Chain A
Amino acid sequence: MTVVTSVQLAGLTTLILLFIGTPLAWWLARSSSLLASCCIPLIALPLVLPPTVIGFYLLLAFSPEHWFGATWLMLFDRPLAFSFEGLLLGSLIYSLPFFIQPMLVAFRDIPEGLLDAASTLGANGRDRFFNIVIPLSRNGFLVACTLTFAHTLGEFGIVLMIGGNIPGETRVLSIALFDYVETLDYTRAHRLALGLIGFSLLTLMVLQWLAKPGQKNGTQQRL
């Protein structure tokens, strides 16, 4: 159950960020506006803040006394705090920089001249994005998705603050491990911890293997 919840959370977070984060990163990489330059540090904030700080404010926002939590409750007839949806929303926010940063690097790496060449050959913005930018950012996408997935899987502080520990709903692997240790169930704790290490190693190895062919085109990226 815990594994399913964890994988569901990490998978959905990655998928949603793929659709929201990609255009956002493209805009941030290309725009020189004041708004864009303010957005970049704001998005990076979860990288440096203690997760509990974000968790604390999210918890406040999710409560039915707050307009955000109240609106949610009115629309969906269930509270956001201590729910899977709340956890997902929180994950999207704290995993955003782990998606955006590698994508920014990948997008900024694309030579302006290639896009100019594509323009003069008759490719419009959409055409250029799908046929030049996305294929050339392949490794960036791999890194971004893996980091997002792995980081969501491993996050503890925020989950504890806003998710609680409801089996089948908000109980994820990192919390379960904490529980086992608390209750001195070291056998299960070992099994879970070793499982997570194995999974993380496997992910990184697969990533390295997948990213290799891209090195030929000079847009490679390393973790």
Chain B
Amino acid sequence: MNSVEAYFKVKRGDSVILETPFTLPDSGITALFGPSGSGKSTLLQCIAGLVSKRDSAGSQLTVDGEIWMSESDYLAPDQRSVGLIFQQPQLFPHLSVLKNLQFARERRRKPAIVELEDVVESFDLSALLDRLPPSLSGGEAQRVAMARTLVNGPRLLLFDEPLTALDHESRSRLLTLIHQLGREKKIPMLYVSHQWDEILQIADHVHMIAGGRINRSGSLQALTTDLDFLSRHQPLASAILITEVEQHLQDEHLTQVSLGSQSLLIPKVELNTGKELRVLVKMADVSLSSQPSTHSSILNTLVCRIVDIAEHEGHAIVVLNCEGQVLSAKITGRSARQLGLTTGQSIYAQIKATTLNHEHYRNG
């Protein structure tokens, strides 16, 4: 079910910079992906009410049946209960971390998603409470900003490229927090980014936006296995395999994860046995073989079935089904012909273990 139904139309001066229908499912993380200047942030601001009534004339927005924007109505941002996490943390510099959180708690109109005490605990803020925002690191400040938003009891959570200004480690940590939120809290979340790897790690649904218009929507899995999408957006082409941590091989610094009845070895992750782990497999890092290879430096071989093949500028993109999950391989057209690949055929997919991306789980 959709909790947000909208049609946005935004003008800047004389030009229309956003004109698109929009929906948001009532739970899970929906990603809004597109290049800079495609209207992503403007769309978020529309939902939050930060685009003026005049600039957004002709827009309609309904949230859980309540009209927020229409011909005749325009709900002010402070009446909307939207949690917006900005690129910059936007903490009030004259208030301590604790007072920033209290500012949000005092002004909430809905029960909090998380109580202040709990958010301090889960976001690891207890040592920061008396500090003033200018003394915080970028990652700390963004954690406080997220906590402040949650304490405010939002009906929707919007993220506007919240990790852009952060270093690698803080990004990983926050991505994990956002991923957990998406799992645990039953509120609609919209995550704007132009970083595809972020989206692969946390999103359930994806809207693709370009030139102020959403031109494609669907579940992340459907999108990452769509041949047409893969051939047009090759740099984005990574499959996600949802695996479960099976065991750690301490001596070899490897972790074994299971994918149905098969398993993969990846560089060691700090995650308990039985936990879910998203493994990213880049299309270009998958090679195919008609026989299981034992004499190779490649650690991982998965038995797959070919679902679809497309030739594209001298390359072949092969979509594979492995234990019900889909991944793809990009090989040369010549190799494809030599192997005599056909749809439905069984094949061995070789994946270089070191290329599997798990970075963001290190701190989780």
- Please report A residues at the B interface, Cβ cutoff 8 Å: 111, 113-114, 116-124, 127, 131-132, 135-136, 138, 216-219
Contact = CB atoms under 8 A, between A and B. Distances in A.
B78 A119 contact: yes
Dominant secondary structure of chain B at its interface with chain A: loop
Contacts of A120: 48-50, 77-78, 80, 82-84
A122 B93 contact: no
B134 A218 contact: yes
A122 B151 CA distance: 12
A118 B93 CA distance: 12
Nearest to B104: A121
A122 B88 contact: no
A122 B86 contact: no
B94 interface: yes
Nearest to B86: A113
Contact of B90 (A117, A123, A216, A217): A117
Given A119-B49, A136-B93, A217 B86 contact: no
A121 B86 contact: no
Contacts of A116: 48, 50, 77, 84, 86, 90
B81 interface: yes
Nearest to B132: A216
A118 B84 contact: no
A131 B132 contact: no
Contacts of B88: 113
Interface in B59-111: 76-84, 86, 88, 90-94, 103-104, 107-109
A210 B81 CA distance: 38
B152 interface: yes
Interface residues on chain B, size class = 20 to 34
Dominant secondary structure of chain A at its interface with chain B: helix
B173 interface: no
A113 B90 contact: yes
A116 to B, nearest CB: 5
Interface string B130-166: 0010100000000000001100100000000000000
Contacts of B78: 119-124, 127
Contact of B94 (A113, A123, A127, A135): A135
Contacts of B50: 116, 119-120
Given A131-B103, A216-B132, A217-B132, A119 B92 contact: no
B94 A121 contact: no
B81 A117 contact: no
Contacts of A219: 93
B107 A114 contact: no
A8 B132 CA distance: 39
Contacts of B77: 116, 119-120
